[in-house]
Amino acid sequence: MYDKGKVITGLAIFFLVFTFPFWSNIGKTAPMPERSLDTPVLQEMAREAGLDLEQALKEGAINCVEDKDYIVSQHMHLLNLWRDSVVRSGNRMYAGAFGKRHEMSLSKSCMNCHSNKKDFCDRCHNYMNVNPYCWDCHLTPEQMGTASDAEVKQ
Amino acid sequence: MSATRREFLKIAGIAAAAGAAATPAFASFIPGNILWPRGESKRDEAYTAKRWAMVIDLAKLDQKVVETVREACHAAHNVPDFLKVAGMGAGEAKRSEIKWIWPAKYESAFPNDMNEHMSANVTQRPVLVMCNHCDNPSCVRVCPTKATFQRADGLVLMDYHRCIGCRFCMAACPYGSRSFNWYDPRDAKDPKTLVGGRAVDPGFPTRTKGVVEKCNFCAERLARGEAPACVAACKNNEMVFGDLSDPESPARRLLRERYSVRRKPEMGTGPQVYYVI
């Protein structure tokens, strides 16, 4: 191999620069954010079940429209399916996993329980650096006038 | 590099086997139950029809009715009012205006139905014009993303999520029923207010900069068993809606009793807003 020294030095420098984002961030992992489920509507649902919120969530006394794991990993997909169903076929009701019928509406169903957009949606979306364009058109709980008290104060 | 036929077939066979074996491995990365998990349905109280249509009684329209209807529609659908923006030139305000239902002169609404010496009672009245929810909608044919589409019950609707703002539909519509959002319809300073000062109605989303919008025949109100906002705002049956496939619907009854015209039927779009004279 000609110019062995130069080639290997060059490759080494390239490798260092290329992997800069990885080694410069070693040990600086940002902690995974915890989403908050503490909203007036969910508190009320727990009270109706005769439990406090944490217990009610743990025991499955209050549920989302689908299983929690499915919602955490697939909520964006579910929202797309809801959108197509409502907009294209005019079917607005959804048979939930826990025996209830829900209106397929981001503002009226999802955000009714999760009125704390900043502590529920935004925490994870900011962490993951995703910018869904929902709120360009749809109204936030604040704009709907249904935001939880803590949200309004912020 | 050269390979014999036998070598080539061997490699191809191994690659195919590896591909077949890898498919389930890749599939395991996709979380289960990704497809439509449950059933969807209409609300029990929803209005349904085989063919929706609107009938407008021209003899009953006057300035007051027109204003009431327009305000009811635009308030229910969060339509901004650029004509009320201070500091915007008249030309630009007019170009930016968003219109779902609006008054037109008889001669512009029905350019081919103008005869000489017509009764002023017909030609001098305001005509309420809106999207005609055509049977053969030219906007749907030209839309490159299927953002605008025709539903089975005849309504021509928009999926704003898909609209890329190319405005082909605006060029294709012979009725000027579509408006483009040159600006964000929300007031930049106050997110609870629309441009022009109207408060945002929490019951309906706004649109965003860069999409086309138009009348949706109040699909969202029909879905919960309510008459369209314009019809509901009419005190004296100036506007009537109904199922054209049902001979006893209010729309069919009115069409049976009175002489009716449609806007530019010669364009072949099959408009489904009827005007009785």
Domains and CATH numbers, chain B: 61-225 (3.30.70.20)
B160 part of contact set with chain A, CB < 8 Å: yes
- A89 CB neighbours in chain B (<8 A) are 40, 151
pLDDT for B264 beyond 90:
yes
| Mean pLDDT of the region B99-117 | 92
Quick check: B209 and B218 in contact, CB under 8 A?
no
Residue among A77, A96, A146 whose CB faces B34 most closely: A77
When mean pLDDT is compared across A5-19, A29-43, B224-238, B239-253, the lowest value belongs to: A29-43
Closest CA to B110 of B134, B126, B94: B126
CB–CB of B161 and A83 under 8 A? yes
C-alpha dist (Å) from residue A16 to A5, A20, A27, A41, A65: 17, 6, 18, 52, 48
- B40 CB neighbours in chain A (<8 A) are 85, 89, 91, 93-95, 104
CA distance linking residue B209 with residue B194, whole number of Å:
13
B206 part of contact set with chain A, CB < 8 Å: yes
Chain A residues in contact with chain B using a Cβ-Cβ cutoff of 8 Å = 66, 70, 73-74, 77-78, 81, 83, 85, 87-97, 101, 103-104, 107, 133, 136-140, 142-146
The residue length of chain A stands at: 154
CA distance linking residue B89 with residue B16, whole number of Å:
66
Quick check: B69 and B85 in contact, CB under 8 A?
no
CA distance linking residue B129 with residue B179, whole number of Å:
14
Token reading at B102: 């609006």
What pLDDT sits at residue B27? 63
What pLDDT sits at residue B38? 67
ipTM comes to 0.82
Q: Can you say how many angstroms the Cα of residue A7 is from the centroid of all Cα atoms in its chain? A: 47
CB–CB of A90 and B46 under 8 A? yes
Instruction: Identify the closest residue of chain B to A103 by CA–CA distance.
Output: B43
* Region of residue A40 (left: phi > 0; alpha: psi -120 to 50; beta: else): alpha
What pLDDT sits at residue A25? 86
What pLDDT sits at residue A98? 87
CB–CB of A70 and B39 under 8 A? no
From the CB of residue B33, how many other CB atoms can be counted at a distance below 10 Å? Answer: 14
CA distance linking residue B55 with residue B254, whole number of Å:
8
Q: How far is A143 from chain B (nearest CA, A)?
A: 6
Closest CA to B220 of B133, B158, B150, B163: B158
B42 part of contact set with chain A, CB < 8 Å: yes
Residue with the two structure tokens 């999409």: B211
CA distance linking residue B261 with residue B252, whole number of Å:
14
- A92 CB neighbours in chain B (<8 A) are 42-43, 46, 223-224
CB–CB of A70 and B200 under 8 A? no
Quick check: A93 and B43 in contact, CB under 8 A?
yes
* Structure confidence by residue, pLDDT tens digits, A61-115: 899 998 888 899 889 999 999 999 999 988 999 988 888 889 999 999 999 999 9
What pLDDT sits at residue B276? 94
Instruction: Identify the closest residue of chain B to A77 by CA–CA distance.
Output: B34
Quick check: B97 and B83 in contact, CB under 8 A?
yes
Bridge partners of B56, per DSSP, are B239, B275
pLDDT for B107 beyond 70:
yes
| Mean pLDDT of the region B217-221 | 95
Token reading at B6: 């036998």
Residue A40 exposed, middle or buried by CB count within 10 Å (0-12, 13-18, 19+): middle
Confidence (pTM) = 0.83
pLDDT over 90, % of chain A: 60
Token reading at B3: 């390979």
What pLDDT sits at residue A105? 94
| Mean pLDDT of the region B119-129 | 91
What are the respective helix, strand and coil percentages of chain A, to the nearest 5?
60, 5, 40
Residue with the two structure tokens 């008889």: B106
What pLDDT sits at residue A145? 81
| A9 confidence band (pLDDT: 50, 70, 90) | very high
- A98 CB neighbours in chain B (<8 A) are none
pLDDT for B87 beyond 60:
yes
B268 part of contact set with chain A, CB < 8 Å: no
What pLDDT sits at residue B42? 87
Rounded to 5 degrees, φ, ψ at B262 are -130, 165
B161 part of contact set with chain A, CB < 8 Å: yes
CB–CB of B40 and A107 under 8 A? no
Rounded to 5 degrees, φ, ψ at B22 are -80, -25
Quick check: B141 and B269 in contact, CB under 8 A?
no
pLDDT for B64 beyond 70:
yes
SS3 B220: helix
Indicate the DSSP class of residue B194: B
What mean pLDDT value characterizes chain B?
91
Which of A87, A91, A104 would best serve as a mutation to test chain B binding (most B beta carbons within 10 A)? A87
Residue with the two structure tokens 């004279």: B277
CB–CB of A92 and B223 under 8 A? yes
Token reading at A8: 């290997």
Supply the Cα-derived Rg of chain B in whole angstroms. Answer: 25
B40 part of contact set with chain A, CB < 8 Å: yes
* Structure confidence by residue, pLDDT tens digits, B4-55: 999 999 999 999 999 888 877 766 555 544 455 567 888 888 899 999 999 9
CA distance linking residue A85 with residue A102, whole number of Å:
13
CA distance linking residue A10 with residue B186, whole number of Å:
54
Instruction: Identify the closest residue of chain B to A143 by CA–CA distance.
Output: B192
pLDDT for B214 beyond 90:
yes
CB–CB of A89 and B191 under 8 A? no
- B208 CB neighbours in chain A (<8 A) are 133, 136-137
Helix locations, A19-114, DSSP H: 20-24, 40-48, 53-58, 68-84, 111-113
Contacts of B93 (CB under 8 A, 6+ apart): B82, B83, B85
